Each structure stands twice: as structure tokens, then as C-alpha cells.
Amino acid sequence: MNCIFCQIAKKELPATIIYEDESFVAFKDINPIAPIHYLIIPKKHITSINHLELQDKELMGELFLAAKKIAKTQGIADNGYRLVFNVGKDSGQMVDHLHLHLLGGKKLLWS
């Protein structure tokens, strides 16, 4: 499979990794739209939220516990942050490997 996020998870492609555990890797987005902009991905290849299966339920829960932990260690838990999944073309999803955007470090727009 030629998935670039699978390759990042396996360290076959470079990325600025800021967190890793058994199930997830988090790294800096190369086109940041906020002072803090990380992508948190499961090491397991899941294409998008549209491709979630019942068996992924626990993994998805763990992803948000990881996101909470990363926001805290990166110092944005108190001021606040945004978590985003883009799904499909209307959203601008760029890579077909499920990834959670963690955005923070400024007042985030909403419109």
C-alpha cells in the first residue's frame, strides 16, 4: 500500500513526530493553519470516518483520550483547541488515512 500516513507511522517517511504510543502517532501538519497544528493518526489504516467499522469503536475512543493528553502536554488544554476530521472531497480531506487535526495556539475562527 502506498499510503503516506502508513509510511510515516512506520518511519519510512520523515515527519516531526510529537507523540507516539502503541496505537497512534501524532506529527506536525506540513501546511499548518494555526500555531499548533498536529495530525493524530491511528497506526491501523482506516481510510476515513466513512470506513469506520464496529471493531474500530475502542480505537476511536482511545484516539480522543490520546488527543486530550497531547493537548495537555502541548500546553493548549486550558486555553482551548479544536479537533477536526475531514471526510471526503467537500471537506478537503487530502490523505485517505483517517487523521484527526488538533488546532490551537490562537483564537480559532468559526464561520
Contacting range for its own copies; rule: CB under 8 A; set: 1-9, 11-19, 37-45, 70-78:
70-78
With binding defined as CB under 8 A, does residue 91 bind its own copies?
yes
* Cβ 69 to its own copies shortest distance, Å: 10
With binding defined as CB under 8 A, does residue 30 bind its own copies?
no
Contacting range for its own copies; rule: CB under 8 A; set: 1-9, 15-23, 37-45, 50-58:
50-58
Choose which of 4, 17, 83, 95 interacts with its own copies (CB under 8 A).
83
* Cβ 9 to its own copies shortest distance, Å: 20
| Annotated catalytic residue within 45, 51, 99, 101 | 99
Report the relative pairing of strands 17-20 and 100-104 from DSSP bridges. Answer: unpaired
Q: Is the dihedral of CA 27, 29, 35, 36 positive or negative?
A: negative
List, edge to edge, every strand of the sheet that includes 17-20: 17-20, 24-28, 36-42, 100-104
Ramachandran region, residue 84 (left: φ > 0; alpha: ψ -120 to 50; beta: rest): beta
- State the CB neighbour count (10 A cutoff) for residue 16: 10
The set of catalytic residues is 99
